[in-house]
Amino acid sequence: MRRALLAITGLAAGTTALVVLKGGPGAGQATAQDLPAAQAPVAPGGSPTPGGVTPSAAAPSVSATPGASAKPSAKPSPDRRPASRGSTRTGTTPAAPKTTTKAPKPTTRTVTGSSVSYKYGSLQVRITLSGTRIVDATATGMPLGGQSGQRSDDVQARYSGSSGEVVAKQSADLSTVSGATYTSTAYQRSLQAAIDKA
Amino acid sequence: MSSAAARPGLRRVEQIMGTAISLDLADDLPTATLHELAERTFDWLRTVDARFSTYRDDSEVCRLDRGELPVAEASADLRAVLERCADLWTSTDGFFDVYATGRLDPSGYVKGWAAQVASDRLVAAGVPNHCVNAGGDVRVRGRTAAGEPWRIGVRHPWDPAATCLVLTGTDLAVATSGVYERGHHVVDPRRGAPAAGLRSVTVVGPDLGEADAYATAAVAMGAPSGITWLDRLPPPWRHAVVTDDARLLHSRTLP
């Protein structure tokens, strides 16, 4: 459970950053409220941005679609293998109201992005939309166990209490993460897939 | 409209140079202006990718490496990068080596350098409050949209979803090089074998290109010589390393 909290919380900053993609212009105070939201421990499946996004008009015209990455000559990193492209839709209505410029009657639905493989398994990002606005994004399939998790626990157990400073996990109110290439790439790909399908 | 405490700002993510580039512009400017500045920033990084990618046969770096492009005819950017890389080869006792893999590959400097230039240009364009994260190489300036200093987590070497350290600042370059993503891929150019001893090296300082190169060099040096070398870097450079046996060692003062 603790690992689950850490895993999800660690991504909260990235999640909120990406949530704002869809809400960019006109999001008002949304951005400012993301950061405090990011520090709150988030239960699996919970919302990393409580109150972080206010209902507003239609989505911005500027697309967040990756451009250069689509080129075949781009760097062939191992996590770019196409995973399942399928998406799962659940929710109360199949389509969002798109035409109005007034706040649409909020209908909530969720869209799940492709499962993207990366070194520690595969992860999947699920977004929740109210009308055309993303109000929540959560990742499933983050490393909660398996070999990398066990290795980490082994290390913690073996070195706890010894004289040197032992690597400890921290989760905090983060603006960004250094050295997170692998996960952020997989995460972004799945999120983008969910956005594309929304 | 917005209160003094909260600026709207803008956050964007794009996939460039084979990695996720995220941009957080925290200044109180019209949204359209911020989007335009973001586009300009991403365009710059795409230009860098086209010019420096080792995965594109038609890039300047590949053409230079194959001998099809004389150095004198290379772009000013490429010549400047090669010069900096030569300086770094000297200052790292040869451990930062663009020919470590047997072919020209300045990637260990280019990603950080490109993000640093992007950040410099944002300052010049009137966006002194921003965060540029190029695949884990981070340059922050000013404050967040909420008016707080930026908080940069350093990824936990054994748990990609956790952080092992948090740095806080208003003017920092933070680069982390680790062996956790592609195995021991950083080659010790002197022995030609993968380096061992350091699982992850984070370097903090005023310039992201140099921070990136220093982190790469220290990983190549391994333990304990990489740590000794990092200790000799003059202020304001700071570092934190995680050893293969999971110890976190760092400068006496970290931001």
Decide if B24 and A24 are in contact by the 8 Å CB cutoff: no
What is the Cα–Cα distance from B53 to B19, expressed in whole angstroms?
A: 12
- Report the residue of chain B nearest A162, measured CA to CA: B247
Q: Comparing C-alpha atoms, which of B146, B149, B147 is closest to residue B174?
A: B149
H-only helix segments in chain B: 31-52, 60-65, 76-91, 107-124, 208-221, 225-231
Q: Which two tokens stand for residue A141?
A: 């399939």
Q: Which residues in chain A have their CB less than 8 angstroms from residue B26's CB? A: 31
- pLDDT per residue of chain B (255 residues) written in tens, 0 to 9: 444 456 778 888 888 888 778 889 999 999 999 999 999 999 999 999 999 999 999 999 999 999 999 999 999 999 999 999 999 999 999 999 898 888 999 988 999 999 999 999 999 999 999 999 998 899 999 999 889 999 888 888 877 667 788 899 999 999 998 876 544 455 666 665 556 788 899 999 999 999 999 999 999 898 888 999 999 999 999 999 988 888 888 888 888
Q: Which two tokens stand for residue A187?
A: 């995460």
Q: Which residues in chain A have their CB less than 8 angstroms from residue B119's CB? A: none
How, if at all, do strands B137-141 and B130-134 pair? Answer: antiparallel
The ipTM is 0.83
| 3-state secondary structure at position B168 | strand
Q: In this structure, are residues B17 and B134 in contact, taking their beta carbons and an 8 Å threshold?
A: yes
Decide if A29 and B2 are in contact by the 8 Å CB cutoff: yes
| Each residue's pLDDT tens digit, A25-73 | 433 333 333 333 333 333 333 333 333 333 333 333 333 333 333 334 3
Q: Comparing C-alpha atoms, which of B133, B58, B38 is closest to residue A72?
A: B58
Q: Which residues in chain B have their CB less than 8 angstroms from residue A151's CB? A: 158
| 3-state secondary structure at position A197 | helix
Decide if B160 and A180 are in contact by the 8 Å CB cutoff: yes
What is the Cα–Cα distance from A196 to A87, expressed in whole angstroms?
A: 10
Calculate the alpha carbon distances from B238 to B127, B175, B211, B234, B235 in Å: 26, 11, 10, 8, 7
Burial class of A36 by CB neighbour count within 10 A (0 to 12, 13 to 18, 19+): middle
